[in-house]
């Protein structure tokens, strides 16, 4: 957590950085859960939306690639590596209290939270 920044509580009573981290733990599943449950905290909602969109899309693309022999499997493996990196990055940035935006998806998540 950056020095001097107060950690806000969420509608669930957790620290916002912890709840935002939890939105990434099981990918789009926990993303959806925290997107629905969190009513007040935009920081948590941002990370929940970003998790939902990112890992939901990676899951669907991975399923599709799984039906394509060899090339699809290779691309699926690369996609899996990218997913692991984004998963760890999302959790670390959320826990550190950062509004870190993934490419493309971050802007979409930001627009969803502001409306």
pTM across the whole model:
0.89
The three-class DSSP label of residue 15 is strand
Cα–Cα distance for residue pair 17/20, rounded to 1 Å: 5
Q: How many CB atoms lie within 10 A of CB 81?
A: 10
Question: How many CB atoms are located within 10 Å of the residue 67 CB?
Answer: 9
Does 24 map to a domain?
yes
The single-letter DSSP state of residue 13 is: S
From the list 19, 61, 58, 76, the residue with the least C-alpha distance to 42 is: 19
Instruction: Give the total number of structural domains in the chain.
Output: 1
pLDDT at 46 over 50: yes
Per the structure, the complete domain to which residue 22 belongs is given by 16-109
Q: What is the pLDDT of residues 56-101, one digit of tens each?
A: 999 999 999 999 999 999 999 999 999 999 999 999 999 999 999 9
* pLDDT above 90 coverage of the chain, percent: 84
- Tokens representing residue 73 in the block: 């499997």
Residue 54, domain member (yes or no): yes
Query: Does residue 10 sit within a domain?
Result: no
**Is residue 2 a part of any domain in this protein?**
no
Q: What is the pLDDT of residue 1?
A: 47
On whether residue 1 sits in a domain, the answer given is no
Q: Is residue 63 part of a domain?
A: yes
Inside any domain, residue 23: yes
Tell me whether residue 6 is in a domain.
Answer: no
């Amino acid at each position: 957590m950056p020095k001097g920044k107060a950690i806000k509580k969420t509608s669930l009573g957790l620290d916002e950085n912890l709840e935002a981290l939890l939105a990434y733990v099981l990918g789009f599943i926990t993303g959806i859960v925290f997107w629905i449950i969190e009513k007040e905290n935009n920081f948590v909602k941002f990370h929940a939306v970003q998790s939902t969109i990112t890992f939901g899309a990676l899951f669907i693309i991975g399923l599709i690639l799984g039906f394509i022999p060899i090339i699809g499997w290779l691309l699926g493996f690369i996609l899996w590596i990218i997913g692991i990196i984004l998963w760890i990055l999302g959790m670390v940035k959320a826990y550190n209290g950062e509004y870190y935006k993934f490419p493309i998806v971050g802007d979409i998540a930001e627009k969803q939270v502001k409306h």
